[in-house]
Amino acid sequence: MSDSSSSKSRIQFDTAAIQNRLRSIAKDLSTYAQDLPSKLKQLPAIVRSLPGRLNATHRRLMN
């Protein structure tokens, strides 16, 4: 009987830990979702800068 009750309490503990982890993940996703529009606005400038950055890196590697 004690095996069953300890197993049951462990399952309840694991469930609580999982729920806490899911809450944490949901909070992180919410933060990422809020940041996404500003990150997307930066994307064209980042893409435009890539050729120059690649050339500079290539020159450094070849020297």
- pTM exceeds cut of 0.75: no
pLDDT tens by residue, 8-62 = 777 777 888 899 999 999 999 999 999 999 999 999 999 999 999 999 999 999 9
What is the structure's pLDDT at 10? 74
Residue 10 vs residues 7, 15, 17: alpha-carbon distances, Å: 5, 8, 10
- Would you kindly state where each structural domain of the chain is located, as residue ranges? 1-63
